[in-house]
Amino acid sequence: MAVYERTYKRYKGALTPQWTRFLVLPRYAYEEVAKSKLFTIFFVLCLLPPVIQAGRIYLYHNAAKIFSAVPAAAEFFSQFMSINAEFFGIVMAMQSGLAFIVALFIGPGLVSKDLANNGLPLYLSRPISRTEYVLGKFAVLGILLSVITWIPGLFLYALQSIYAGWGWAFQNTRFAASILIGSAAWICTISLLALAVSAWVRWRPVAGFVMFMVFLGGGFFGLMINALFRTDWGSMINLGVVIGRIWEGLLGLRVTENLPLWAAWVSLALFCFGCVQMLNRKIRAYEVVS
């Protein structure tokens, strides 16, 4: 409209709080993700294992009533399907694997589209910083992966506490803490990996392949180093072994790898730091072309 008509008015509505503005990014990203029916079906299926394990908890505490006519079945559920550290370890290992597949599907396209279409300067010209941009993209994966990792894990812990009594819950608070810490570590790792690969590899199929090869290649080269030098330190580049060792340490499970627990945490921290540095090199308001 023409300025001389003076019919325009300044916006006087409520402003979005500064600390919540980064949530605009995941809101629109979820709209894009929801368009894929295949992903929606797979994401729902990711919640099926916790539902099955919830049924196992119910059967464990009600075996005597359900199998009253078959005492042998009731004894089986009572003795061989106990709810302990191994139970939560299996549940979280399964959900962690599904979380990696979800990140493999969504992650490669989060940053690459903005870089390929020169959209990053438009984001950063708004009242949003580079840190908030990365945080918004991180939230896309962080929220989705939380739904299939620590949230179902804590639900199973609460369900077991209801049946076994809150005395059991206080005695086994380690399980709840392990679920939160272990899930947070894994979510940070694969989310930062997905964002870093997406920032450096702009073609989405190749980015997904690179992300998968980082996980698979680390395991291969880790085994090669261990075999050639007769050591266990090569496992520090194997993400599968590292996160498995961390889960063992958190839940107090039997140690299956000779990698020290502190080395696993150091390896994970260095890996995340490297991903952050890769993002720092690429997430800029402008790009110098030589």
**Residue 148 within any structural domain of the chain:** yes
Q: What is the tens place of the pLDDT at every residue in 172-200?
A: 999 999 999 999 999 999 999 999 999 99
Which residues, 6 or more positions from 4, have their beta carbon under 8 angstroms from its beta carbon?
A: none
Rounded-to-integer distance, Cα 243 and Cα 237, Å: 11
Domain assignment present for residue 228? The answer is yes
Q: Select from 103, 106, 55, 110 the least CA-distant residue to 77.
A: 55
What's at 159, amino acid-wise?
L
Close Cβ partners of 240 (under 8 Å, ≥ 6 residues apart): 215, 218, 219
> H helices of 7-84, where?
24-33, 37-46, 48-66, 71-80
pTM of the model: 0.88
**Is 3 contained in some domain?**
no
The answer to whether residue 79 sits within a structural domain is yes
11 lies in a domain?
no
pLDDT in tens, the chain (290 residues): 455 566 667 767 777 777 777 888 888 888 888 888 999 999 999 999 999 999 989 888 887 676 666 666 666 666 667 888 999 999 999 999 999 999 999 998 888 888 877 778 888 877 788 888 999 999 999 999 999 999 999 999 999 999 988 899 999 999 999 999 999 999 999 999 999 999 998 888 888 899 999 989 998 999 899 989 888 899 999 999 999 999 999 999 888 878 899 999 999 999 999 999 999 998 877 655 55
Which range marks the domain in which residue 125 is found? 19-282
Q: Is residue 170 part of a domain?
A: yes
- Gap between the Cα atoms of 173 and 179, Å rounded: 10
Q: What is the mean pLDDT of the chain?
A: 87
Q: What digits encode the pLDDT tens for the residues 53-104?
A: 999 898 888 876 766 666 666 666 666 678 889 999 999 999 999 999 999 9
The beta-strand segments (E) located in 152-288 are none
Split into its structural domains, the chain has a count of: 1
